[in-house]
Structure 1
Amino acid sequence: MDFMIQYLFHDLLLLENQLPWFVLESLHRLIGKNQVPLTMLVLNFFSRLSSMSRYCKGYFKHTHDEEILHILDLLRSAIVVPFQKFESTEYDNALPHATALLEAGIEFRRSSVDGIMNIDFKDGVLTIPQLAIEEMTEPLFRNLIAFEQCHHGRENKVTSYALILDNLIASSKDVVFLCDKQIIHNWLSAEDVSQLFGKLHCDTFTVGFCYGGLCAEVNNYYQATWNKWLAGLKRDYLSNPWKITSLVVAFILLLVLTLLQTTYTIQQYYHPHQ
């Protein structure tokens, strides 16, 4: 079949298709001795996906305490284990979209740390690891979120991440901006990506939101009037050398005119008939 590998990826991701891990290991042992461990076999297979390659290859860099339940759980573990700042709060503090944050003076940078979930905010800079988006991204995240919603032993980490991305991406304009910042590596259209994360968490119930503290810090910075004023000054007058030059010339001209006016006023006061 054409594109058979894509169908295999899709079917192995479906939550309803998952077999218990101990069953898969039992079948794997029947193949013979000295074979590749099952975890490595599965991760090597899914590393062919551009959106999964980095997480699958980095799986063995970290300690994994939880027992693997099935293939989908293994993939979820590869994504969430590098996440360092888990905090369980209520989801009640949404973020403005990316271009609105930019207009308020918040800078976006691509993060180099492991794990797509390690989003950080410090001194007005929001650092976000790069996310690769392709055709299999939606089914991957959709099934991971469905798994978190159904299994009480797995926190809503992927669900929280989808909520954050949905906050930041309100339109194709936000997608284009995040692509320019290399925070999103996109193989789809900007319009498709702008709708992706809104559809993913529809009808979900988030218990234990991971980014409550981050959202509070970003919103406090965003709502500060001084930050918006300073961002407007940089955008309108300091964005390129010509604008800076014009501003400096205008300022010097204003000083000269003010000085001339003051001199003339003083001269008229002391020498009214001259």
Structure 2
Amino acid sequence: MHPTIESTEEPGWLGSLRKRLEESEKQLTGEGNKVSRPKIQGIPAYMAEKVEFHRYYRPQIISLGQFHRRELETRQGELYKKAWAAMYIKHANLKFEDLFTELYEEDRLSSMRKEFYNHSRPYYDRDVIETFTVDGCCVLELLEKSDLSVDPEQELKISMDKLVRVHQDLLILDNQIPFESLRILCQDHERLQKCLCNFLQVHGIQTVPKLPRKKTQNEEVKVAVDGDDDEDPVHLLDYLRKALLMRDQHTFYKAINHKKMKRGSLHLRKYRIGTIRELKAAGIRVTKDSHNNSVYPSFKDGMLQLPELIVDGSTPHIFFNLVAFEMCPDFRNNFEVSSFLVFMSSLIDQPEDVKELRMAGIIINELANDKEVADLFNKMDTILVPETELFAHVRDQIHSHFESKRGRIRMLSWMGEASNTFFRSPWTIIALLAATLGLVLTFIQTWFAIHPKAS
């Protein structure tokens, strides 16, 4: 028999369910959600579970923060971390008592744990202070000694191959520490800015976002939105992303003539734009945009302009972790980096496409060959993102240009398929020549059989 509710009192379990639902609504829409700051959290499961991506999401030498806190304690990386922290404390004339007092008195410890980590682990305050102090001083010493005028092997006592891996560890999303901890440990604004400049230059990024002035304790925190110039980054990976997106977005929105675009399908998708060879067949010129230091492409009068892109061993670490960062549920963003990678993966299909971009000065290839670059972007083709306004506008412009050159594109597509089928190796070329010769001989034999010579 089904129960009937005759009284005004609700069952205990139903009241508990109602309270849980209401609490979730408050967390999502209420007072607790006014400040939108992305937290340091784990890689999204649907990305981390891909076996081919594992090496881009796991620290190799240095473990930072609270996610990989105990994974590398027995390795040599722990020695580097503590030794570099001691070096920085000595060079910066810091005192342990002053650091601990500042953390406790300003209540920054609990604030950083609450604001920057999307979990609650039972760490004692002493452990958290040690983590922030050691990890922060280690990072500052590493970045300070990564200046081009300094010999890092001599100063940091580490081989160059390990040093490269340490810098890759600083790119991993859940191997970050709060930027505020670097603020506390480096009181010199110019010194901190120089460390961040070194961090970007190591990864081939020349544009350096200026740090805002240090906020006072009682100053209101603004909602973080892309393009804000007065917001501290959340961590180093966030700072790197800001550097890649420095170009004024209003320049691109003006090209759309301020027309409100219709929202596209909410389905995740890949953008099919066409390879570099298809663009050339349609009469589209691809050139380097020397004034563009960000990831935004532009298209005008049959010319596609792309920013310069250095591709080396750290490139997949940068892009895969930036994609994971943009996919975090508490990060308000427009998927700019993810959209750029989808855009580039459509342009690049074969090593010949990489060669075209390299000859145009767009890609600087520091890998072994063009095939490695093509394989990298083909691997990134698994990224699916919602349609974004800026990239959709460029894509639509290119497709409109394609429509006027459809016949030529079909011819190139046919030639490309023929090339891949018959000229992919010396053996296929020999087989094609043999088949052609056989057809010619058969034709000649048939001709003379039908038209024998008069005797």
Give TM-score, length-normalised by structure 1: 0.72
Structure 1 residues 72-110: Cα deviation after superposition (integer angstroms, max 9, x where no partner): 000100111215226886456520111111011111111
**1:16 equivalenced with 2:174 (yes/no):** yes
TM-align CA RMSD = 2.8
1:167 is aligned, of 326, 329, 346, to 346
User: Which letter maps to 1:2?
Assistant: S
Q: 1:137 to 1:203 in 2, by over 3 A?
A: closer
User: Which letter maps to 1:200?
Assistant: M
SS at match of 1:22: helix
Please, which moves more after superposition, 102-111 or 34-43? 34-43
Q: Which residue of 2 aligns with 1:121?
A: 299
SS at match of 1:132: strand
Distance 1:208 1:26 in 2: 37
Alignment of 1:57-136 (within 5 A): 59-60=209-210, 64-84=229-249, 85=252, 90=264, 93-136=271-314
**1:146 equivalenced with 2:324 (yes/no):** yes
Q: 1:78 to 1:205 in 2, by over 3 A?
A: same
Q: Which residue of 1 aligns with 2:159?
A: 2
Alignment of 1:214-253 (within 5 A): 214-225=394-405, 228=408
**1:210 equivalenced with 2:362 (yes/no):** no
Distance 1:133 1:66 in 2: 29
Give the structure, 1 or 2, with the largest relative contact order (CA under 8 Å, sep 6 or more): 1
2:207 is aligned, of 55, 61, 65, to 55
Structure 1 residues 183-241: Cα deviation after superposition (integer angstroms, max 9, x where no partner): 11111121111121232352544363530010000011012148849x99xxxxxxxxx
Q: 1:82 to 1:41 in 2, by over 3 A?
A: same
**1:195 equivalenced with 2:353 (yes/no):** no
Distance 2:167 2:389 in 1: 29
CA contact (8 A) 1:160 1:209 kept: no
Q: Which runs of 5+ in 1 are unaligned?
A: 233-274
Distance 1:148 1:82 in 2: 18
Aligned residue pair count: 223
Distance 2:370 2:231 in 1: 37
Higher gyration radius (CA): 2
Structure 1 residues 142-176: Cα deviation after superposition (integer angstroms, max 9, x where no partner): 11111011143232010011011101001101001
User: Which letter maps to 1:68?
Assistant: P
Q: Which residue of 2 aligns with 1:40?
A: 194
CA contact (8 A) 1:97 1:167 kept: yes
Distance 2:194 2:291 in 1: 22
SS at match of 2:306: strand
**What percent of counterpart residues are identical?**
25
CA contact (8 A) 2:271 2:343 kept: no
Distance 1:46 1:171 in 2: 30
Structure 1 residues 32-65: Cα deviation after superposition (integer angstroms, max 9, x where no partner): xx4634243122233133x32x233xx3499724
